[in-house]
Structure 1
Amino acid sequence: MKNILLLTCCFFTLACFSQKNALTSKQQDTLSIWQLAKYDGASAFGGLKHAYTRPLHWDGEDWATFGFVVGGTALLYFVDDETSNFFLRQDGSSPNIAKEFGERFGSPQVAYGITGSVYLFGLLTKNERVRETGVLLISSATAVGLIQTVLKTTVGRSRPQNGEGKFAFKPFSGESGFRSFPSGHTILSFTTAYAISKQFKNPWVKAGIYTVGMISPISRIVNGAHWLTDVVLSLAISVATVDAIDNYLNGKNRYPNDKNKKGITWNVNFGVGSMGIVGRF
């Protein structure tokens, strides 16, 4: 975990010594790997800042969405006990492989491992599209990681498995049993899945990636680590953060070559007695 944090800090440190203005694809093609890393560091840092300051620039539609999320979560809060009891009853019948996958996929080691691997592949191969995906993953994971760390400590909500009910809070206690909101596994797993899904256009492929990203959130409710409302708000944080950073990268045209390509499209083909998936790059 210390190595992961060190690599993340080094990546963002590159932003202090890098090109702030967007470069054309031809200009990026002439840069060395070190220069590309510095450029990507600036992109990631810019996305991080944009995600944190975006609420200052929300318009009426944004605030309406925010109100809808808060209102919907408030309604779910009234049935938190009932939904928690329902999911806890499913614990014995849940596949162990799903629980294990959910626990591992939402862990910082795996989430940042995937994130770092995607970015390093794009950097070493100088693939602009993959580099952008890696930057989106790194900046999004860092942004939501900091948010969930602060909220867990300040909110101090009791976990369902404590048996103290949904109204039990101990802000700043530091006790592991009072770090229910938000769900770190949910935030990291779905942030990774949602960012990756943006690289595909086929709705079936997107749905498949979303499904994988939802395994961790559901497994955490089933084992009594989080309430349903914890997970719902965590999902909202993930989506809002990834969208904000993705909009920043697109709006600033940090990776222009990506906009001139159709990207990776996947089509599901059905025939008599056959089914296949065709990818076009």
Structure 2
Amino acid sequence: MFPSPLYAGETLFNSGAAIKEELGRLGSEGKLFLKAPVDPYLVQTGAAAGLFTVAYIFDKQLSSNGTHHGVLRGITDVGSDASNPFLHLGVAAAVYTAGAASGNDGVMELGEEMGEALVLADSATFVLKGAIGRGRPYQTESKSSFRPFQYRGGYDSLPSMHTASSFALAHVAASHSESFSAKLACYAAAGVAGFSRVYQGKHWASDVLVGAAIGELAGDAVTRYRALQPGKVSIAPMTIDGNPALALMGKF
């Protein structure tokens, strides 16, 4: 069976059908996201758990008091500001809007994927932050200070949402490029974001590792779901020998 068709020009701004399709797709991607640590990435999850354990052991040695100065401080200021999850959502919205306004389905789809990956990553980290309640480096000297489900200021360190958001965006952006250099640049930018959060004393290193894993899984869930689909179907008006007709367009 074909996916439910959308008429050419239908977007989230003018179509209830498009909104319904988006919500359904996000729900399906969410299921892939939740299953991903076990299926199909069980081995990778084990490796990530090992890295987290090592980072947790050395968190204190890797932590920073955030009082550095100089060029590196300036770079990490930019990295931290650029990794703001709200800024990323704005970027996704701007890309989608540009695609919708210009009628460019490729750009619009990129904006959709960015937004979906960010919603998954940010939602997961938001829930985990409150549930785990780990103290931030500037809040407590102990890496093992936890206040689960208390939602206290300064006790929302694990995982890093800035990092999760950055890696979710990096995965989607990289998936739309065939250039290795471009892919590397996407992940390098995300890596700078994570490093910045540790360097400025906002997170423990292990917080950043978990955030990166969540962001990568979120981006992967979105791109993997779309790769499994036959493609979108759209209906556009056309003429055949001067007679009005409809064209069914898509990839099958």
| TM-score bin, normalised by smaller chain | 0.7 to 0.9
Q: Are 1:76 and 2:58 matched, yes or no?
A: no
Query: Does the C-alpha gap of structure 1 residues 213 and 259 become closer, same or farther in structure 2, counting only changes over 3 Å?
Result: farther
1:207 equivalent in alignment to 2:189: no
Instruction: Specify the alignment match of 1:121 in structure 2.
Output: 98
1:56 is displaced (CA, Å) by: 4.2
Match of 1:217 among 170, 191, 194: 194
Residue 47 of structure 1 deviates from its aligned partner by 3.8
Contact 1:22 1:254 in 2 (8 A): no
8 Å Cα contact 1:145-1:184 kept in structure 2: yes
Q: In the aligned structure 2, how far is the partner of 1:76 from the partner of 1:96?
A: 23
Find the residue that maps to 1:146 and give its secondary structure.
Answer: helix
Describe the shift of the 1:56–1:183 C-alpha distance in structure 2 as closer, same or farther (beyond 3 A): closer
Where structure 2 has 5 or more consecutive residues not aligned to the other structure, the ranges are 234-248
Cα shift at 1:46: 3.3
1:141-175 CA distances to partner (integer Å, 9 max, x unpaired)? 11111111111111000111223311110112222
1:89-104 counterparts in 2 under 5 A? 91-104=68-81
Q: What RMSD over aligned residues (CA atoms) do the two structures have, in Å? A: 2.8
Q: Aligned runs of 1:23-42 on 2, under 5 Å?
A: 23=5, 28=7, 30-33=8-11, 38=16, 40-42=18-20
- What is the deviation of 1:224? 0.9
Q: CA distance change for structure 1 residues 219 and 164 in 2, over 3 Å: closer, same or farther?
A: same
State the partner residue of 2:224.
Answer: 247
Taking structure 1 as reference, are residues 182 and 258 closer, same or farther at Cα in structure 2, changes over 3 Å only? farther
Please state which structure has a larger fraction of its residues in helix: 1
Bigger drift between 132-141 and 155-164 goes to 155-164
Q: Is the 8 A contact 1:132 1:255 kept in 2?
A: no
Residue by residue over 1:166-215, the C-alpha shift from the partner in whole angstroms, topping out at 9 and shown as x without a partner, is: 11101122222111011111112222222112111111111112222222
* Counterpart residue identity of residue 132, structure 1: E
In structure 1, distance between residues paired with 2:215 and 2:30: 13
1:238 aligns with 2:215: yes
* Partner Cα separation in structure 2 for residue 89 and residue 232 of structure 1: 19
CA distance in 1 between partners of 2:66 and 2:122 (Å):
30
In structure 2, what is the Cα distance between the partners aligned to 1:95 and 1:195? 28
Contact 1:119/1:135 (CA < 8 Å) preserved in 2?
yes
Post-superposition offset of 1:52: 2.8
Q: CA deviation at 1:40?
A: 4.7
Q: Does the CA-based 8 Å contact 1:45-1:139 persist in structure 2? A: no
Asked whether the equivalents of residues 155 and 171 of structure 1 are also in contact (C-alpha less than 8 Å), the reply is yes
**Structure 1 contact 73–232 (Cα < 8 Å) conserved:** yes
The reply on whether 1:67 has 2:46 as its aligned counterpart is yes
Deviations 1:34-85 (A, max 9, x none): 687555534542342233322447766522222221122112211111111x
Alignment CA distance shift 1:96-1:60 (3 Å): closer
| TM-score normalised by length of structure 2 | 0.81
| Residue number in structure 2 paired with 1:15 | none
Aligned residues: 235
How many Å apart are 1:235 and its aligned residue?
0.5
Alignment-derived partner of residue 120 in structure 2: 143
Percent of aligned positions with the same letter in both sequences? 23
Superposition deviation, residue 22 in structure 1? 4.9
Matched position secondary structure for 2:138: helix
So what's the TM-score if we normalise by structure 1? 0.73
CA distance in 1, matches of 2:230, 2:20: 13
Question: How far apart in 2 are the matches of 1:134 and 1:69?
Answer: 29
2:147 alignment partner in structure 1: 170
2:26 matches 1:48: yes
Task: Decide which of 80, 84, 101 is 1:107's aligned counterpart.
Answer: 84
